[in-house]
Amino acid sequence: MVPARDLPLLAAWRLSVPLRVLRSLARGDHTALRGWLAAESALRLAEARRDAYLDLTTLEQLGARLLTPDDADWPPGFEELRDPPAFLAVRGALPPSGVAIVGARDADADACAFGHELALRLGRPVISGLALGIDAAAHRGALASGNATIAYVGTGLARTYPPEHAELAESIVAGGGAVAAERSPQDNATPWSLMRRDRLQAAHAAAVVLVVSNAAGGAMHTMRFARELGRPRFVLDRDASGNRAALEDGAVRLPRDADAAISRILAVPGI
């Protein structure tokens, strides 16, 4: 049975209700929402309710569900965010924590091989973003090891970005992990939504590893959020502008040997 909170929550999302109001609504407080909706037209409200019904139907067809902060499997690290999500749409099972492995979409073969090997041998759930390059290598390494892997995506769950990773997303869910989004199911990816998902990766993780990136790469958002949250940050010893910037910002240097890198990561308590 769909929880009674889900329809108004998705309808409010469709109306672009502010996040603080959505969070109150997710916890069962409708007070702020009533004030916000007073200025909306009856037509807009009806359209939002109709679209929310369609969203719920789509989530059900996908075998997905909405999580809110009161659910037992809500990632505990989200509560450390300045702007935690009001809900997550989730396919699969979310472990309480893991290690985020991130990096460039256009990473070279050596960097991708390291990301794959690290995820394969780490012995921890792996968190990444389903992108090309390092993300895909990390997800596949975790799958090959039998460990769960979680993909935080910038689209709704009815879409896949990039489209060629639809099979990988299915494998992640079938392998005991999850695909999760702070979006309604038909939403497309935007630069803003991709950056917003980066904060979820950092908050869910016990630590973040940057394999390779230039200084303007999206993976650097995850590193910045990790620093703000006080998460241990690691960076592979590579001559890339993002890697150099991460080292200058206090990240711990990792050797290029995967076993030695894992020993350094797991030496930190709590990972």
Confidence of residue 32 (pLDDT cuts 50, 70, 90): confident
Average pLDDT of span 154-173: 98
Contact call for residues 106 and 132 (beta carbons, < 8 A): yes
pLDDT value for 267 = 97
Domain count of the chain? 2
| Tens of pLDDT, residues 112-160 | 999 999 999 999 999 999 999 999 999 999 999 999 999 999 999 999 9
Residue 78 in domain: no
Average pLDDT of span 211-216: 98
Q: Helix 134-145 vs helix 166-174: angle between axes, to the nearest 10 degrees?
A: 30
CATH number of the domain that 149 lies in?
A: 3.40.50.450
Residue 69 in domain: no
One domain for residues 43 and 96? no
Look at residue 109 and tell me whether its pLDDT is greater than 90.
yes
Residue 119 in domain: yes
pLDDT value for 251 = 98
| Tens of pLDDT, residues 38-65 | 888 889 999 999 999 999 999 999 999 9
Q: Can you give the residue range of the structural domain that contains 246?
A: 91-266
Confidence of residue 220 (pLDDT cuts 50, 70, 90): very high
One domain for residues 113 and 52? no
pLDDT value for 4 = 81
Distance of CA 259 to the CA centre of its chain: 26
Confidence of residue 96 (pLDDT cuts 50, 70, 90): very high
Residue 70 in domain: no
pLDDT value for 37 = 81
Please indicate whether residue 148 or residue 34 has the higher confidence score (pLDDT): 148
pTM for this predicted structure = 0.96
Look at residue 244 and tell me whether its pLDDT is greater than 70.
yes
